[in-house]
Structure 1
Amino acid sequence: MTATGKVYLVGAGPGDPGLLTLKGQRVLASAEVVLYDRLVDRKILSHAPTTAEMIDVGKVLGEMGRTQSDINSTMIEHARKGKQVVRLQGGDPFVFGRGGEEAEDLRDAGVPFEVVPGVTSVVAVPAYAGIPLTHRRSSSSFTVVTGNEDPKKAESTLDWKVLAQLAGTLVVLMGWRNMPSIVETLVANGKSPQTPAALIMWGTEPWQIAVTGPLSNIVELGYEKGITSPVIAVIGDVAGLGETLQWFDNRPLFGKRALVTRTRAQAGKLSQRLEALGAIAVEAPTIEIQPLDDYTRFDSVVSRLTDYDWILFSSGNAVEAVFDRIDALNLDSRAFAGTQIACIGPDTSSNLRRHGITPDLIPDTAVAKSLLNAMTSLDIAGKNILIPKPDIGRDTLPTGLRAAGATITEVVSYRTVMPKNSKALVMDAISEGIDIAVFTSSSTVENLAKLLNDDLACLETAKIACIGPVTAATASELGLSVDIVATKYTIDGLVTAMEEHFVGGRDTR
């Protein structure tokens, strides 16, 4: 007989995937079945194993969807098959959610369950709009109600007269459709029309819109701003702090969709930096790093690294490729004994240092020409120099070193290919609009052009950001108008250049 599994009722938080709790992430990572709501961010869902069965149980206002009874039955059915089931709900499952009802059904069915609380939108959404629900000088309490019931209804479950007289903060969830009636009823029952109010749409998301103003015309202000559900309303003196304590939606890249074309494995750091500045990072890798089909020559070179006077690393990928083979050949860092190491810049240097190697030479700027100049300033005539490289690349460095009298060995250490699903990802990203296209190498630009059949007109309105002059030159050659070029040719330098571009007033779109 199959042992009964377990159901975890997990709160996914209000929207921002960074607000998922550590326990929620851990439980999701071991889920076999996930039942998730419509508003749960896809990045949160990505924490589930690729083998997990994903079931969309979202409900859309005015549309037919799964009933609560159906959702409960589905959880019970999978748990009885011995599965670990995660019921993933926006916010907190026990705050204006169906978590209590689901727990009751699970208990009645004899299915073990556990509740993993989530960050509730009640407090998180106002906080992301710069609104504290309580403040020592203006509000010592707050009341939370749902607004999906018209307050003018004959038998309302809420006493709006009492709510209108409360001195603290009133938070109304799910009330946009009835907001005109809610405002009218509150004013009719004594709430001052001048009471500060705020409407927050899609709170904690990069497309959040917040509107503040007096209660009497907050609805009209919302209409003017294009407010639609989902909306949280905050009514009370603290709502007036939203403009002075604004921190989330005034970041330099707020709401801008940034196309990230790096390899999927390397996109994370760049995406995180962009998102920290308010951008919506859209990852659509145009290159992918793949191992070699045949390691015979590469292994032969790696097994005798001490034959070389210098090893030059022009990318972090080359570093990882060499150390992967060092591991495969049961070698260690002693394989570099007596050999000097040069790398193209600080990012590549960081890769080396993670493996316990401190480079002997790093040029002032992270481009091949600077590395060439730094090397040729030394006495390299007759020196044996190894350059691990990709299967495609420029020959600036080896050609210049040979001209200086060095003996150069170039060895292909990895392949760069076009990801299989890259065209679909790029087309999806572009169909929703791109504000910034971010390129970290010439290959990312060239491959994007290939994916688009050299028709880059879809990026005419986007800002083009490049990691350095070489990448910028490639973009220009392909017909793109480059707007941003990093002065420090690293990921950090590229992000800083984008931030300065928008903060400096050169572009405020």
Structure 2
Amino acid sequence: MSRPRVAVFRPDDGRIDDAADLLDSLGAEPVPDPMLTIEPTGETPPDADFVVLTSATGVEILADAGWTPGNAVLCCIGSSTAEAAEAAGWTVGRVPDQYDSAGMVAELGDEVSGKSVALARSDRASATMPEGLREAGADVTETTLYRLERPADGGESAELAARGELDGAAFTSSSTVEGFLAAAAERGIREDAIAGLEDAVVGAIAESPAETAEEAGIAVDVVPETADFAALARAVVERAKRCG
């Protein structure tokens, strides 16, 4: 049996190479197609009672800048974010069971009335968390740690999908779904690329990117129980092998 060809869309900051290596070790032919580049803003969050970080990228940017959480309760979305924070020497106080903005609102909602909460995220972050925390009575500030840009040369995966030559796709954020669709649209193959994914195993790391894909007409086959790339990669490759 030939190795399934699986596209991966991690940012082009070293993670795309690690992701491709993982797919290769799982017996897949990786198609690394970075849909995002990271542009740090140089900003850091202010002092607050609670600081919320949403990605390992944000942790790494702050650690490189010499920032520390001080006396704040550090809250992380996702195990990879928490692990990165702990590796930086910080104490993590909260990791919600649900790895998204709504999960963090549910985790902190009963504790933040009259408290200050600093959100430190990308420029593409949703309004769900600040709105929910403000409704819970928190004084919320938002800091843009980095901007996400789409590389001009991305889109190989869209071309393969449009030709029916892709066996799997592993989306790690709503931004990667949107980047895939934008790259396909620029090539005039958006509908063909979406149709091509019908015969591939489509995985999303969490419910948010899954919903973005579904809204665009992309059927999602796999969402791992844990919002972790390794779990996503294993699930997509294993299913692609069975389908092949």
After TM superposition, the score normalised by the length of structure 2 is 0.88
Asked whether 1:405 is paired with 2:144, we answer no
Letter in 1 for 2:61: A
TM alignment of 1:313-328, pairs within 5 A: 313-326=53-66
Q: Which residue of 2 aligns with 1:392?
A: 124
Asked whether 1:382 is paired with 2:106, we answer no
DSSP-derived class of the 2:23 partner: helix
CA distance in 2, matches of 1:308, 1:344: 18
Letter in 2 for 1:322: L
Write out per-residue CA displacement over residues 384-412 of structure 1, whole angstroms, 9 at most, x where no aligned residue: 11001111221111111000000000011
Write out per-residue CA displacement over residues 48-70 of structure 1, whole angstroms, 9 at most, x where no aligned residue: xxxxxxxxxxxxxxxxxxxxxxx
CA distance in 1, matches of 2:95, 2:40: 27
DSSP-derived class of the 1:259 partner: strand
DSSP-derived class of the 2:243 partner: coil
Matched residue count: 236
Asked whether 1:448 is paired with 2:180, we answer yes
Pairwise CA distance, 1:367? 1.9
Write out per-residue CA displacement over residues 305-339 of structure 1, whole angstroms, 9 at most, x where no aligned residue: 4x30010001112212222333xxxxx54xx2211
Q: Which residue of 2 aligns with 1:279?
A: 28
Moved over 4 A (4+): 427-432
Q: Return 5+ residue gaps in structure 1 as ranges.
A: 1-248, 327-331
DSSP-derived class of the 1:408 partner: strand
TM alignment of 1:61-140, pairs within 5 A: none
Asked whether 1:310 is paired with 2:50, we answer yes
Q: Which residue of 1 aligns with 2:19?
A: 270
Asked whether 1:353 is paired with 2:92, we answer no
Match of 1:366 among 99, 102, 120: 99
The question of whether the paired residues in 2 share the 8 Å contact of 1:388 and 1:413 is answered with: yes
Give the share of equivalent positions with the same residue, in percent.
28
Pairwise CA distance, 1:466? 0.8
CA distance in 1, matches of 2:230, 2:8: 14
Letter in 2 for 1:450: A
CA distance in 2, matches of 1:388, 1:438: 26
Higher relative contact order (CA 8 A, sep 6+): 2
The question of whether the paired residues in 2 share the 8 Å contact of 1:318 and 1:414 is answered with: yes
The alignment yields a C-alpha RMSD, in angstroms, of: 2.1
Write out per-residue CA displacement over residues 163-183 of structure 1, whole angstroms, 9 at most, x where no aligned residue: xxxxxxxxxxxxxxxxxxxxx
Pairwise CA distance, 1:496? 3.7
Asked whether 1:469 is paired with 2:218, we answer no
Pairwise CA distance, 1:420? 2.2
Letter in 1 for 2:102: K
Pairwise CA distance, 1:497? 2.6
CA distance in 2, matches of 1:270, 1:486: 16
TM alignment of 1:112-191, pairs within 5 A: none
Asked whether 1:508 is paired with 2:240, we answer no
| Larger of the two Rg values belongs to structure | 1
Pairwise CA distance, 1:428? 5.8
Pairwise CA distance, 1:500? 5.3
DSSP-derived class of the 1:255 partner: coil
CA distance in 2, matches of 1:499, 1:288: 25
Letter in 1 for 2:76: C
TM alignment of 1:200-279, pairs within 5 A: 255-265=3-13, 266-279=15-28
CA distance in 2, matches of 1:432, 1:472: 21
Q: Which residue of 1 aligns with 2:73?
A: 340
The question of whether the paired residues in 2 share the 8 Å contact of 1:259 and 1:429 is answered with: no
After TM superposition, the score normalised by the length of structure 1 is 0.44
Q: Which residue of 1 aligns with 2:166?
A: 434
Match of 1:490 among 217, 223, 228: 228
The question of whether the paired residues in 2 share the 8 Å contact of 1:402 and 1:408 is answered with: yes
Write out per-residue CA displacement over residues 179-217 of structure 1, whole angstroms, 9 at most, x where no aligned residue: xxxxxxxxxxxxxxxxxxxxxxxxxxxxxxxxxxxxxxx
CA distance in 2, matches of 1:467, 1:429: 21
DSSP-derived class of the 1:364 partner: coil
